[in-house]
Structure 1
Amino acid sequence: MKIKEQDGTIIDIFSIYWFDDETYFYGLPRGYGGLIAYKSNEISIIESDISFNSVYFENNAKSIHHWALIKEALLDDLIERDENAYNRFLEIIKSEGLVEPDFY
């Protein structure tokens, strides 16, 4: 899945959350080192297919995530821009062909 920011930047999405009446996409911008939340009304969806193995998760919100974010407990660390979690997630998504080999 891919979104486009208002400035035209294309972002790969690896989580979707539904909080109350809002939808948030968690994306991995190149060079950022972690996940960023994007409100659905502030972006454009340019590729709606979810092309990764996913996990449904529910606590204070309903959500769908790339499997590694939940099963390898990387989600919180990626939101906090933990370097080890970022490197592990990059290793996984590169091996799955979800981003280009030169993505950083």
Structure 2
Amino acid sequence: MKIKESDGTIIKVFAIYWFGNETYFYGLPKNYGGLLAYRASQVSIIDPEISFNAIYFENNAKSIQHWALIKEKLLDDILERDDVAYNRFVEILKAEGQIEPDFY
């Protein structure tokens, strides 16, 4: 899945979650070092296809997450921009062909 920011930047999405009446995406922008939340009403969806193995997850919000975020317990650390968790997630995404080999 891909979204586009108002400045034209294209971001690959690896989680979708619903909090209250809002839909959010967790995207992986280059050179950020973690996942970043995007409000659906503030971006354009340019590719709606989810092309990764996903898991439904529920805590304080309901979500569809890339499997590694949940099974490898990377989500919280990546949101906190932990380098070890981020590097592990990038390694998995590269191995799956989800991101380019030169992403990071």
Give 1:31's aligned amino acid.
N
Give 1:48's aligned amino acid.
P
Q: How far apart, in 2, do the equivalents of 1:98 and 1:21 lie? A: 29
Counterparts of 1:62-77 in structure 2, within 5 Å, are: 62-77=62-77
What SS is found at the alignment partner of 2:25?
strand
**How much identity, in percent, do the aligned residues show?**
71
Q: Which sections of structure 1, spanning at least 5 residues, go unmatched? A: none
Q: How far apart, in 2, do the equivalents of 1:50 and 1:37 lie? A: 17
Cross-structure match for 1:35: 35
Cross-structure match for 2:4: 4
What SS is found at the alignment partner of 1:77?
helix
What SS is found at the alignment partner of 1:100?
coil
Cross-structure match for 2:18: 18
When normalised by structure 2's length, the TM-score is: 0.98
Shift of 1:35: 0.4
What SS is found at the alignment partner of 2:30?
coil
Give 1:86's aligned amino acid.
Y
What SS is found at the alignment partner of 1:11?
strand
What SS is found at the alignment partner of 2:37?
strand
Q: How far apart, in 1, do the equivalents of 2:103 and 2:63 lie? A: 25
Shift of 1:60: 1.3
Q: How far apart, in 1, do the equivalents of 2:99 and 2:45 lie? A: 17
Cross-structure match for 2:48: 48
Aligned residues between the structures: 104
When normalised by structure 1's length, the TM-score is: 0.98
